[in-house]
Amino acid sequence: MTHVGERPVVASEGSAGDVIACHLADLGIDTVFGVASIHNLPILDAIARQGRIRFVPARGEAGALNMADGYARVSGKLGVAITNTGTGAGNAAGAQIEAVSAGSAVLHVTTSVERAYIDRDRSAIHDAPGQEDMLKAISKRYYRVWDARGALGILSDAASCALTPPFGPVTIDVPVDVQKQVVEGQQEMPACSPVRLAPAAASIDKVVELIARAKRPMLWLGGGARGASGSATELVHRGFCAVTSIAGRGIVPEGHHGSLGAFQNAPEALEIFASCDLIIVAGSRLRGIETFNNQTPLPHPLIQIDVDASQAGRNYPVDLFVRSDSALALAAIVEKLPQALDVDPYFIHEVAAARARAEGRLNWQLGPYKIVAEAMLQRIGPGLHPFVRDVTIANATFGSRFVTVGAPRLNVHSAGGGIGQGISMAIGASFAARAKTVALLGDGGAMLSIGELMTAAQERCEIVFVLMNDGGYGIIRNIQDRQYAGRQNFASLATPHFGKLCEAFGLAYSRVADVWDFSQAFDAALAATGPVLIEVDMAEAGAYAEPFAGSTPLPAKP
């Protein structure tokens, strides 16, 4: 929001802006995302002068927050976005809600007008009375820096808060005059000290006692258990089966014969659930979209592990709640169990067969797009490619279930259900990745953040964008067909010529009209340097064998 004719203000040496920039780097931050504006220039000027952090200029504040979110999920470190006050901070709100939904460790550094004008409704440029209330509503915690002397302590505490489970976005609001204020004397950065909550020994003993009685035990793994791969996989080796939420994908290797993967809504999975005699839910809120709005019958005893005690029994009644970091709790459970559990020997074979049937039925539903899904599976699953998915039919069908991910941190999806965030999350993920990032998009959602393709082009991000173009909001049309007697209104949208758009942006591009050509185009894009967009023209490629219109209702009891 820089205005023509306005002169940028250079922060003094030793100003709060200098201190914030310096100590972000001291925290190990190597990349931040944001939009330059008159009220954050003291911090950005310090970042540029110090040269320790790469600043990625997003085309909008929402994009900057989504980039920081994607970076945090893939890197496992703090993702940082810097925005402007007022409208700028408001622009970022939807993306910050996504970070809340996903539990991402994001630090949002935003700004306010001079302290003399804050919240006084005096029409200072970019002022938004009530900004504090807005940001508190979408933050794990909100801080305002009222004086430069407090900047370091607040920065350390904010970083610790974001990185302490349950993870979430934390906001620091720094008025522009505070950024320019000189910090007197030398200040040492207080230690950033995330806290991991260990389980009570008595609770673990109770869990182990219940497991000893089980013949068909199950693990349900959510995003809060992403750090528990070793222990969760060991439990599956010893006789548990596993199923994951979308956020928990990859915690147990998705090709493991004891895992149902993310097919938690499949009829085949429901049959397995009905046969189980114990379930441990670790780091999952049992979201409505994955449990038919909490109507999926789950076995008992039901043990819930969550670091947030307020979640105890919120969505399902529990027989035992263990307040703990999921990784620490599962590790403690493994340590007390025998090497082999006394379980039903046929159980694991039934799980493998159920998974195979669910995948086979999905393959049929995909129609021609099973060719696209297979090509992506063969190239993404075994490797280190971050796999980012926007809210699309392709994601809901094969992206979040059939195409496996190589590790939990490579799994990035729109947890909050908002469309149009995939481009920006992929940009953030690419800065944290050691391999090419793959982003699965839809044309309708992509138009919300199409300008961020310019960011990808300018920064030469290593991303393959796979854009499924069905000319609008395909899932809305399918819902209208199913629930509104075929009255399709407002969901068929004009889209640009993506080839010409990519040419204007300086982005490599290819178009696929025949699904049999996808593998070759995908291989070429993975081998190319810099960002590439592959458009799959669905008008030419054909229709799904079964139109996707959201999750089907829970099957009626016989």
Both 320 and 390 in a single domain?
no
Count of all residues that appear for the chain in the document? 558
| Domain's final residue, options 123, 147, 180 | 180
Both 258 and 404 in a single domain?
no
pTM, rounded to two decimals: 0.94
Both 109 and 239 in a single domain?
no
Give the integer Cα–Cα distance in Å for 536 and 421: 19
Both 223 and 311 in a single domain?
yes
Closest C-alpha to 298, from 322, 310, 315: 315
Domains contained in the chain, number = 3
120-124, 144-148, 475-479: segment of lowest average pLDDT: 120-124
Both 341 and 366 in a single domain?
no
pLDDT surpassing 80 at residue 555: no
- With contact defined as beta carbons under 8 Å apart, do 312 and 285 qualify? no
In a domain, 2, yes or no: no
Give the integer Cα–Cα distance in Å for 443 and 471: 7
In a domain, 7, yes or no: no
318-329 pLDDT, tens digit per residue, is: 999 999 999 999
Instruction: Give the tokens for residue 110.
Output: 């935003």
Instruction: Say what the pLDDT of residue 556 is.
Output: 56
Both 110 and 223 in a single domain?
no
The DSSP letter of residue 507 is -
Q: How many CB atoms lie within 10 A of CB 557?
A: 5
Residue 81 burial class via C-beta count within 10 angstroms: exposed 0-12, middle 13-18, buried 19 and up: buried
In a domain, 551, yes or no: no
Instruction: Give the tokens for residue 243.
Output: 């199923």
pLDDT surpassing 90 at residue 116: no
Give the integer Cα–Cα distance in Å for 167 and 286: 17
| Domain's final residue, options 150, 180, 210 | 180
CA distance to 25, 135, 148, 521, per residue, from 111 (Å): 19, 11, 13, 44
Q: Which residue type occupies 282?
A: A
6-61 pLDDT, tens digit per residue, is: 333 333 458 999 999 999 999 999 999 999 999 999 999 999 999 999 999 999 99
Both 332 and 377 in a single domain?
no
Instruction: Say what the pLDDT of residue 190 is.
Output: 77
344-353 pLDDT, tens digit per residue, is: 999 999 999 9
Cα 338 to the chain's mean position, in Å? 35
CATH number, domain with residue 163: 3.40.50.970
Give the integer Cα–Cα distance in Å for 467 and 375: 15
Q: Which residue type occupies 298?
A: L
**Mean pLDDT calculated for residue range 99-122:** 90
**Mean pLDDT calculated for residue range 407-422:** 95
In a domain, 130, yes or no: yes
Instruction: Say what the pLDDT of residue 208 is.
Output: 97
**Mean pLDDT calculated for residue range 281-287:** 95
In a domain, 72, yes or no: yes
Q: How many CB atoms lie within 10 A of CB 120?
A: 11
CATH number, domain with residue 267: 3.40.50.1220
Instruction: Say what the pLDDT of residue 9 is.
Output: 36
The DSSP letter of residue 326 is H
Q: Which residue type occupies 11?
A: A
261 is in which domain, residue-wise? Answer: 201-345
Give the integer Cα–Cα distance in Å for 166 and 139: 12
Both 506 and 372 in a single domain?
yes
- With contact defined as beta carbons under 8 Å apart, do 68 and 428 qualify? yes
Give the integer Cα–Cα distance in Å for 351 and 342: 17
Q: Which residue type occupies 521?
A: A
Q: How many CB atoms lie within 10 A of CB 500?
A: 10
In a domain, 190, yes or no: no
Both 453 and 366 in a single domain?
yes
pLDDT surpassing 80 at residue 123: no
Q: In whole numbers, what is the pLDDT of the chain averaged over residues?
A: 93
Both 427 and 456 in a single domain?
yes
Instruction: Give the tokens for residue 501.
Output: 């758009």
Question: Beta-strand (E) ranges in 135-266?
Answer: 141-144, 170-175, 217-221, 241-244
For 277-332, the three-class secondary structure string (H helix, E strand, C coil) is CEEEEECCCCCHHHCCCCCCCCCCCEEEEECCHHHCCCCCCCCEEEECCHHHHHHH
pLDDT surpassing 90 at residue 183: no
Both 167 and 212 in a single domain?
no
In a domain, 1, yes or no: no
Instruction: Say what the pLDDT of residue 1 is.
Output: 30
| Cis peptide, bond prior to residue 301, ω within 30 of zero | yes
**Mean pLDDT calculated for residue range 296-311:** 96
**Mean pLDDT calculated for residue range 461-483:** 95
Angle between helix 93-102 and helix 61-75 axes, rounded to 10 deg? 20
Instruction: Give the tokens for residue 371.
Output: 């060719």
Both 338 and 359 in a single domain?
no
In a domain, 9, yes or no: no
Instruction: Say what the pLDDT of residue 13 is.
Output: 54
